[in-house]
Amino acid sequence: MSSLNLDPTLVARARELAALAAQPVIDLAHRHTTVSVERAVLRLAGLTGTDPVTGEGRTEDRVPWVNRVVDAVRDQVGLESGVALPVWHALASGAAPDLQTLAEQVGAGTARFAVPDGVQAERAQEAASAAAAAGIARIDANRRRREELVALHGDPPRRPWIYLIVATGDIHEDIPQAQAAARAGADVIAVIRSTGQSLLDYVPEGATRTGYAGTYATQENFRLMRAALDDVSAELGRYVRLTNYASGLCMPEIAVLAGLERLDMMLNDAMYGILFRDINPKRTFVDQRFSRMVHARAGIIINTGEDNYLTTADAVDEAHTVTVSQLLNETLAKEAGLEDWQLGLGHAFEIQPDLPESFRLELAHALLARTLFPDAPLKWMPPTKHMTGDVFRGYLLDGFFNLAGALTGQGILLVGMMTEAVVTPWLSDRDLALRNVRYVLNAAGNLAEDFAPPPGGFIDRRAHTVLTEAVDLLGRIADHPEGLIQAIADGTFGITKRPIDGGKGLGGVVELGPDAYNPALELLEAKETSHA
């Protein structure tokens, strides 16, 4: 495998600074909960369904029971202790025979919540822990099932894995398209979500057919697609992975649903929602930590969103921001229990193609990531910014992107479409794109063996420059009194300023009290001892 000889002191310094910059974020996540984290606890405990009197006729607009219960607890006793104590206290006191019935009492307006203490609190904790453990056991069973299926059908025969997007808005159209894509060579299918789902503060339910430019992430849609890919995996003798998005306001709940329905990869970035969706930083950091702990347990590979920086900023001038974000994502992910093999750190082929030596610069950036994170399955994203509608030029550019991916040992290759920025991909666009990938991997898939950029050469020097700039920026972030949090408020990432108390979803963040109890967090934090 090609790699660079990076200055080990500089690499160590980069990691130290990233850990320093991220520490205030971790502290903040420990001190808070969010409505979505609490709803995720109820989902783990098996609460499903929606309140039938809401939604004005469309099932996907109905308010889920988990939202109704968390809102009722919050109204009556606050969320400072978490939702588990009052809910399982109500159950243990005989108010309702089970969680589902209790939710219906909330719907009817008859449920009464109180925060227990003493023996009653212990009793509620035990019951809550047993309920959450049942959900986690299902996630564990899914992880084992994935391992069995991979052993049975096999992994893709080579790296990078080929990642294709499906997005019709209708799960019943997505399924045949996803199966066709798998038959044509896709190893990973991602179902893009409906426009705006990241800003919904609830997870819609049911099999949905009405998304805009994407399909709603729902538990039922997850289940249907995973089952369809299991069928096609058996047919092809190759385990086809499924991806969705744990981002936006419901990150923790989507992570739980992904674990419950055996999704294999999830988009999950520490800062994307803050910078690109104007979601409140506190909300994002708290939700992000919980969701990553669930992903860690589920054996899910996360994909981070660094490619997005390069679609807004210049890919040469701002190359170091990608490295900085990768290092921050790494440090936050590891704190949440994810292992190197689960870190699909993102980066992209977005340098202006008319720039002299643009391809060599791309190789330098890609090799820098490869060398910095030798055990992570890097996620390599295709050109989008400089795809102009000239589909012929776009096809050539995608060929160079594929070549760079093969040459620098990328782990997951998102297949570029020549019709990027023109139409959502047609059947033929996907087919041509896969032919492009197959040609390059077939013709040059092992070229990395012969590719060793000389020390002191253009690629080596460029990688060193980017790493040095990244260390400088990390130093400035770590110097901020609140590390990353203040750096984001000051607009350090060059995109926009995101103050700690601005953005969407702040209302759903709650500072934890001394008696706070979250059974899921407790069980997930015990992971190291049980799995090691």
Partner 1 sequence: MPDGSIVRPYGDTTGDGMIQTSFTLPVPMGPKAEGAALQLATKMGIEPAMVVHSHAIDSGYTFFVVYGSVKHLVDLDEVHVEERAYPLLTSGEVNGAIKGRLHRELVVLGACIGTDAHTVGIDAILNVKGFAGEKGLEYYREMAVTNLGAQVTVPELVARARADRADAVLVSQVVTQKDAHLRNTRELAAAFREAMGESRPLLVVGGPRFDPAMAGVLGVDKVFGRGTTPGEVASYLIHALIPNEETAA
Rounded to the nearest whole angstrom, what is the least distance from the CB of residue 312 to partner 1 in the complex? Answer: 6
Site string for partner 1, 203-242 (x = CB under 8 A): ---------x------------------------------
Rounded to the nearest whole angstrom, what is the least distance from the CB of residue 421 to partner 1 in the complex? Answer: 5
Query: Which of residues 101 and 388 has its CB atom nearest to partner 1 in the complex?
Result: 388
312 binds partner 1 (CB under 8 A): yes
Radius of gyration of the chain (CA): 23
Which residue stretch of 27-35, 66-74, 346-354, 427-435 sits at the interface with partner 1 (rule: CB under 8 A)? 427-435
Rounded to the nearest whole angstrom, what is the least distance from the CB of residue 325 to partner 1 in the complex? Answer: 15
278 binds partner 1 (CB under 8 A): yes
Rounded to the nearest whole angstrom, what is the least distance from the CB of residue 411 to partner 1 in the complex? Answer: 26
CA dist 293 and 514 (Å) reads 22
Query: Which of residues 82 and 353 has its CB atom nearest to partner 1 in the complex?
Result: 353
Query: Which of residues 392 and 529 has its CB atom nearest to partner 1 in the complex?
Result: 392
Pair of tokens at residue 217: 């992430």
**Beta carbons of 167 and 424 less than 8 angstroms apart:** yes
Query: Which of residues 308 and 326 has its CB atom nearest to partner 1 in the complex?
Result: 308
Q: Which of 113, 276, 290, 359 binds partner 1 (CB under 8 A)?
A: 276
Rounded to the nearest whole angstrom, what is the least distance from the CB of residue 428 to partner 1 in the complex? Answer: 5
Which residue stretch of 6-14, 269-277, 345-353, 370-378 sits at the interface with partner 1 (rule: CB under 8 A)? 269-277
496 binds partner 1 (CB under 8 A): yes
CA dist 385 and 108 (Å) reads 51
Preceding peptide of 160 cis, ω within 30° = yes
Q: Which of 12, 141, 355, 427 binds partner 1 (CB under 8 A)?
A: 427
Where b means 16+ CB within 10 Å and e means fewer, 256-290 reads bbbbbbbbbbbbbbbbbbbbbbebbbbbbbbbbbb
Q: Which of 167, 258, 324, 495 binds partner 1 (CB under 8 A)?
A: 495
Order of strands, edge to edge, in the sheet holding 161-166?
343-344, 301-303, 265-267, 241-245, 188-191, 161-166, 412-414, 379-381, 346-348
Q: Are strands 343-344 and 161-166 parallel, antiparallel or unpaired?
A: unpaired
311 binds partner 1 (CB under 8 A): yes
Which residue stretch of 4-12, 273-281, 284-292, 333-341 sits at the interface with partner 1 (rule: CB under 8 A)? 273-281
438 binds partner 1 (CB under 8 A): no
424 binds partner 1 (CB under 8 A): no
Q: Which of 170, 230, 431, 469 binds partner 1 (CB under 8 A)?
A: 431
Binding-site size for partner 1 (CB under 8 A) equals 24
Pair of tokens at residue 513: 């009290």
392 binds partner 1 (CB under 8 A): no
CA dist 184 and 198 (Å) reads 30
Rounded to the nearest whole angstrom, what is the least distance from the CB of residue 495 to partner 1 in the complex? Answer: 6
183 binds partner 1 (CB under 8 A): yes
Q: Which of 15, 153, 209, 277 binds partner 1 (CB under 8 A)?
A: 277
27 binds partner 1 (CB under 8 A): no
423 binds partner 1 (CB under 8 A): no
Segment (H or E) for 263: none
94-100 long-range contacts (CB < 8 A, ≥24 apart) are 99/42, 99/45, 99/46, 99/47, 99/131, 100/47, 100/48, 100/49, 100/65
How long a stretch of residues is the chain?
532
196 binds partner 1 (CB under 8 A): yes
Beta pairing partners, 381: 348
Where b means 16+ CB within 10 Å and e means fewer, 167-197 reads bbbebeebbebbbbbbebbbbbbbbbbbeeb
Where b means 16+ CB within 10 Å and e means fewer, 318-336 reads bbbbbbbbbbbbbbbbbbb
CA dist 91 and 290 (Å) reads 25
Pair of tokens at residue 238: 């190759």
Rounded to the nearest whole angstrom, what is the least distance from the CB of residue 276 to partner 1 in the complex? Answer: 5
Q: Which of 208, 284, 291, 384 binds partner 1 (CB under 8 A)?
A: 384
439 binds partner 1 (CB under 8 A): no
426 binds partner 1 (CB under 8 A): yes
Active centre residues (catalytic)? 272, 307, 379
Q: What is the DSSP string of 155-208?
A: --SSSSEEEEEE--S-HHHHHHHHHHHHHTT-SEEEEPPPTTGGG-SS---S--
Rounded to the nearest whole angstrom, what is the least distance from the CB of residue 311 to partner 1 in the complex? Answer: 8
AA identity, residue 413: L
Query: Which of residues 33 and 194 has its CB atom nearest to partner 1 in the complex?
Result: 194
**Beta carbons of 18 and 323 less than 8 angstroms apart:** no
Rounded to the nearest whole angstrom, what is the least distance from the CB of residue 496 to partner 1 in the complex? Answer: 5
Question: Which residues of the shown chain bind partner 1 in the complex (CB under 8 A)?
Answer: 180, 183-184, 195-196, 199, 212, 275-278, 311-312, 384, 420-421, 426-428, 431-432, 495-496, 504
